Amino acid sequence: VIMAYGLKIMIISPDAADVLMCFQYLDSTFLAVAVIFYLLHNVGVNVKPWMKISLYGLAAVHLLIVCVNVNTDLYYSDVEVIQSAKGTAVHVTAGPLMLFHYIYLAIIVLCLATIVMIGIRRRGTYAKANVLVYLSLPLLNLVLYIIEGMTGAHYSMLPVGYAITDVVIALYYDGAHAHDIAFLIAEHHKSEAARGYTAIGLNGKFRSCNEKSYDFLPFLRDINVNDELPEES
């Protein structure tokens, strides 16, 4: 996707722009849907199979429409490569099928807005900074995408947004997931500390246990690691 945007500022042929835009649509289709499902997972929503089938299916139909009509006037009625002070730009004139794209973008925006509402309602049950960071990045790219789409002149600003996204996620990933682990431990420490845990191998031999297990199963004090458990136990 980034390569397609990068190449679009160097092309001189409208036909090349048509082909590159087919690759660019991977970001607003499959990439956007993958991000939405990741964010839903972050706020604790159980993603059903029918949800994945529906959204990925819609993304596939969208991409198919773009690719099938790459050489027609139905999606883009005109594609023109122009030189500007900012470098090469691709000026497009929307065709009748572009309405489908705007409806699709509205669905993506609605999904992101829904995730925001879910996050507000479930505050305190997830790492807020984690969701805010991952949510702000697709919103940044979506804003750049809409600006280019509404002006009709594609200057390929999106690679900047994608580069920022990659760097932030790379720097934030470990910290975010370390926070999640610490949160889970703190949340369940009291209930888990009152339980006895005993590990037994598939061959029926004793592996290990925690201190609380001895209160429930005193005979474990007399058993060594890899010893057979008594049959009566």
pLDDT, tens digit, for every residue of 88-107?
777 778 788 888 888 888 88
Torsion sign (Cα): 39, 41, 47, 49? positive
Residues 6+ apart with CB under 8 A from 205: 226, 227, 228, 229
Place of tokens 């925006």: 109
How many angstroms separate the CA atoms of 143 and 231, rounded? 67
pLDDT digits (tens, 9 = 90+) for 123-163: 666 666 667 777 777 777 777 777 776 766 666 666 677 77
pLDDT digits (tens, 9 = 90+) for 169-228: 777 666 666 656 666 666 677 667 778 888 888 888 888 888 888 888 888 888 888 888
Residue 92 structure tokens: 């497009």
CB distance 172 to 133 below 8 Å: yes
